[in-house]
Amino acid sequence: MKRSLLLFTMITLAFLLLLGCSSNEDDSNNESSDGGSEEQIEISFSWWGDTGRHEKYNEIIDLFEEAHPTIKVDRQFGGWGDYWDRLTTQVSGGNAPDVVSMHQFYVSDYARRGALHVLNDKVESGELDLSDYPEAALDSGKVGDDIVMVAKGITMPGFVYNTAVFDELGVDYPQSDWTWDDFVDKAYEIKEAIGEDGWAIEDGSGGQLQPLFRYFARQHGQDLFTEEGKLGFEEQVLTDWWTMWDQMRQDGVIPDAATSNEYDGLPLEANMFATKKVALLGLPANQMYLYEEQMAEGEINIVRDPHIDGGPNGEYIEGAYLSITEASPHKEAAAEFIEFFVSNEEAVKIFKTEQGPPAGTEASNTVIEELTPPEKRAVEYIQTTVDLSEPAPYAPEGVNELETLFSDNAEAIAFGQKSVEQAVADFMNEAKSILGE
């Protein structure tokens, strides 16, 4: 008797559980029939970042919810790597957040597949007021003629160094206007000074296609891609690139392949630069202050990525963006949220230069007064280099596959499995077939 009672209870519970699940679904269905502004609605917002950023964004969202009592914001956040995997899954599953953080490199994969809401109407009507955005900042959120994302912050990459580390090594600081030859010379100089304890710089041959290799291609008057979404650079550029790094690797100026692999993806406080295993680091300027906080002594300064003597600039505008997904049932509320995020005075003061200084002129002016010295240095650097930047074509569909192909082949050289010539040939062939050439 007891036994059957137990069984009965369990089955009842199981049924209740099922009912519970289905009634949840009902709730969300109700929500999607939005409309009445009095009604309580919920939008979701996702971003990538570290703990510090999560705290800031949560604060901004709290402010927004206070100002808009009828809108609740569901928060989804995590690290950069997982972010993109999760977003793909969510978009394909039809449950993507209403507002998503976007990035130039990935935006076309989503925009060209119709997953992002085109904001032109909302911007023209002033529903999403971006009137004080500089033309270039607004344009950087376009794919073709469509505005598909709004800049949270604009940033520029460069090489950072810690003055204390350089002083200790007795090496002169790098000059902002340096060429790749200067760069290589400096790397050998650092290695000489640092001895067995470290290297000049992390292996920059592979990893992501941009910014470093992209700058290199642009400085040759080419680019990663053409406007038509084909491969935009010649074999020689890639050969030069990998040869330069391979030589430094063989001379022990940069770490060997296994060491690089071991440090791959470690958090900031454990990476090669923070632990002084390397003296130079390629970094988006907005993150400079994090290293200054972490490393305690010395100033973190930044110089431009090296260039080619007499060649064109590599710079193009980079940043972090907000988009509204096409499937979102709450596009109005989502637009309100984005506008609040990028222009509300209190929100902007919390954001400061978290992902680069705000793109809007007024917001950017508000922020400047609130900055710590390393943040100020970053903003000055960004403002100077943005002026040097030229537009860049968007990545075509399949860019994810290209990135993997690029890092696979760079790694094969590093581990001595392929010669530079072989890796270049393999990359060019497969890249062309991925891009349908």
Judged by the rule CB under 8 A, the positions of this chain that interact with another protein are: 11, 14-15, 18, 81, 84-85, 88-89, 91-92, 109-110, 113-115, 257-262, 264-265, 397-398, 400-401, 404, 407-408, 411-412, 415, 417
In the complex, what is the shortest distance from the CB of residue 259 to another protein, in angstroms, rounded to a whole number?
A: 7
144 or 267: CB nearest another protein: 267
222 or 260: CB nearest another protein: 260
CB 195 within 8 A of CB 236: no
Q: What is the DSSP string of 84-152?
A: HHHHHHHHHHT---SEEEEEHHHHHHHHTTT-B---HHHHHTTSS--TTS-HHHHHTTEETTEE--EEE
For 92, phi and psi rounded to 5 degrees? -70, -30
146 or 346: CB nearest another protein: 146
240 or 397: CB nearest another protein: 397
Say which residues have a Cβ less than 8 Å from residue 132's Cβ, sequence separation at least 6: 360, 361, 362
60 or 428: CB nearest another protein: 428
CB 140 within 8 A of CB 153: no
Nearest to 379 by CA among 313, 286, 282: 286
219 or 323: CB nearest another protein: 323
Cα end-to-end span (Å), the chain: 74
In the complex, what is the shortest distance from the CB of residue 7 to another protein, in angstroms, rounded to a whole number?
A: 8
In the complex, what is the shortest distance from the CB of residue 50 to another protein, in angstroms, rounded to a whole number?
A: 16
In the complex, what is the shortest distance from the CB of residue 9 to another protein, in angstroms, rounded to a whole number?
A: 13
Q: Note if the bond before 267 is cis, omega within 30 degrees.
A: no
Give the C-alpha separation, 55 to 44, whole Å: 17
262 or 269: CB nearest another protein: 262
E strands, 181-307, in order? 199-201, 278-284, 300-303
In the complex, what is the shortest distance from the CB of residue 348 to another protein, in angstroms, rounded to a whole number?
A: 33
In the complex, what is the shortest distance from the CB of residue 412 to another protein, in angstroms, rounded to a whole number?
A: 6
Give the C-alpha separation, 313 to 177, whole Å: 11
Give the C-alpha separation, 419 to 412, whole Å: 8
In the complex, what is the shortest distance from the CB of residue 86 to another protein, in angstroms, rounded to a whole number?
A: 9
